[in-house]
Amino acid sequence: MLRWLKSFLHKMSPQRWIFIYYLLALSVATLLLSFPLFYRGDKDIQLIDVIFVAASALSVTGLTPVGIAETFNTGGYIMIMLIMNLGGIGIMALGTLIWVFLGFRIGLRERMQIMVDNNQTKLSGVVRLVVEIFKTLIIIEIVGAFIYIIYFMAHGGGISHSLMTGIFLSVSATTNAGMDLFGNSLLDYTESYFLQLMVMLQIMLGAIGFPVLLEVRDYLSRRHKKFRFSLFTKVTTSTYGLLLLVGTFFIFVMESQNYFRDDTWFKTLSNSFFASSTTRSGGLTTVDPAHFADGTQVVMSGLMFIGASPSSAGGGIRTTTLALVILFLVAFSRGRGRVNVFNREIAREDLHRAFAVISLAVVLVFSGIVSITVIEDSRFDLIDVIFEVTSAFGTCGLSTGITDELSAPSKVIIMMFMFIGRIGFISFLFSIGGRQHELPYRFPKERLLIG
């Protein structure tokens, strides 16, 4: 029996190990948040809601059936921040840091798991990458917390309140967790443009991809005389920026005569820009999406479905997936057999993965929407369910306000989507399918009629 167990564990794919690690982390986080010492007074919370909050913090989503500020005390805030950082940095990244600190040797299997958890394609340099990611995120959180603490104190906040609120906001924005201690996100700061700008910057830094941040840092420090940005950075930043502008444009135009009809053009533009940026995976919001028009909610649902960039704190199908599909369609419409961008040819394997991810993600999200609609017996408008499911899948955390009204089975479905969004859709698929291997034979080719 023991020999069989060792053989089984040895044959486990890295993706399946990652899946198991996150399940274990969720169990531990749920156990910790179950302790009464983290709650205010005799605050009672159901087990399903404890699991939901733990899953939301670990997946850095932000959807929650209870108010964080009125449910937890200071100890609970600190515990949630630790869980958010664990989810933002990654299970394997944190484990690697502990191994490095204790002086343990990091073997090939551990490096493969690190590679999968951080969406990397090669083993070389993954340990150094993890250490650099941790240092970068901590620096961003410390700088952000310092700015927020000063800001809240300058606007009449007490020292202890400003300290906790500033630190929590910085951690939540950097990890793209979307949780807050205000009770209504940032709805009270619709005209605090400096605060909006700082939060948007942290959301972008957490969602644009850790390799991009490291490359920009290397470029600014001029460590290499002949520095060249990688194709990943060029495609990621281009797609990220384009989605940001497109989202801002649609929200601005569609809500100018609706939600923003009584606001100045500058306030409308600022809040539209923030709403577009937070759909990458941020979750924090200066507007109430429940009051947006259905068309705007559909646009935001699409943006949340796309999500953030690979190797970031966000979820969704990822920006590069969308970019590769669009590039292929453009090349195909022009009769080209190869896809080129920035003077580089895209590997066919990456194109296959992109189409697989976007196709299966559509099926999965559609199934989730139908399931919740059936379970809730049409208690909610369809657009509210679409918004909730895509928000969970993109680990965004925006909601039209139905999270706390969902039944237990629907909450389980939302938690599954948050979980899938965090570990990555490809890792989730491979964890189900097991180890991947090519067939040792090929069948004769035959053409099919298409279109």
pLDDT in tens, 126-180: 667 777 778 888 899 999 999 999 999 998 888 989 999 999 999 999 988 889 9
Q: Which residues are CB-neighbours of 359 under 8 A, at least 6 positions away?
A: none
**Is 314 among the domain residues?**
yes
3-state secondary structure of 335: coil
**Is 6 among the domain residues?**
no
Residue that wins the pLDDT comparison between 121 and 89: 89
Residue closest to 312 by CA, chosen among 169, 132, 119: 119
Q: Using CA atoms, how far apart are residues 371 and 410, in angstroms rounded to an integer?
A: 8
The structure's pTM equals 0.88
Give the chain's domain count. Answer: 1
Q: Which residues are CB-neighbours of 226 under 8 A, at least 6 positions away?
A: none
Mean pLDDT of 56-68: 89
Q: Percent helix, strand, coil in the chain (nearest 5)?
A: 65, 0, 30
Looking at residue 124, what is its pLDDT? Answer: 53
Looking at residue 419, what is its pLDDT? Answer: 84
Residue that wins the pLDDT comparison between 317 and 1: 317
**Is 140 among the domain residues?**
yes
- pLDDT confidence band for 423 (50 / 70 / 90): confident
Residue that wins the pLDDT comparison between 419 and 428: 419
- pLDDT confidence band for 442 (50 / 70 / 90): confident
Looking at residue 163, what is its pLDDT? Answer: 94
What is the rounded average pLDDT for all residues in the chain?
Answer: 84
Calculate what percentage of the chain has a pLDDT beyond 70.
83
Per the listing, tokens 């999965």 go with 364
Mean pLDDT of 250-261: 93
**Is 438 among the domain residues?**
no
- pLDDT confidence band for 238 (50 / 70 / 90): very high
**Is 126 among the domain residues?**
yes
Calculate what percentage of the chain has a pLDDT beyond 90.
43
Whether residue 311 is predicted with pLDDT greater than 90 in this model: the reply is no
Whether residue 8 is predicted with pLDDT greater than 50 in this model: the reply is no
Least confident of 7-11, 12-16, 92-96, 358-362: 7-11
What tokens does 318 get? 């990822």
Looking at residue 245, what is its pLDDT? Answer: 95
Q: Residues 391, 304: contact at Cβ < 8 Å? A: yes
Residue that wins the pLDDT comparison between 313 and 360: 360
Residue that wins the pLDDT comparison between 397 and 435: 397
Looking at residue 118, what is its pLDDT? Answer: 52
> In sequence order, what are the beta bridge partners of 341?
344
User: At residue 61, what are phi and psi to the nearest 5 degrees?
Assistant: -100, -60
Range of the domain at 410: 11-433
Least confident of 165-179, 209-223, 376-390: 209-223
Whether residue 189 is predicted with pLDDT greater than 80 in this model: the reply is yes
**Is 94 among the domain residues?**
yes
For 199-267, what is the HEC assignment?
HHHHHHHHHCCHHHHHHHHHHHHCCCCCCCCCHHHHHHHHHHHHHHHHHHHHHHHHHCCCCCCCCCHHH
**Is 305 among the domain residues?**
yes
Looking at residue 9, what is its pLDDT? Answer: 47
Mean pLDDT of 314-324: 89
Whether residue 5 is predicted with pLDDT greater than 50 in this model: the reply is no
Residue closest to 403 by CA, chosen among 68, 65, 177: 65
Least confident of 151-155, 335-339, 421-425, 433-437: 433-437
Looking at residue 444, what is its pLDDT? Answer: 85
**Is 1 among the domain residues?**
no
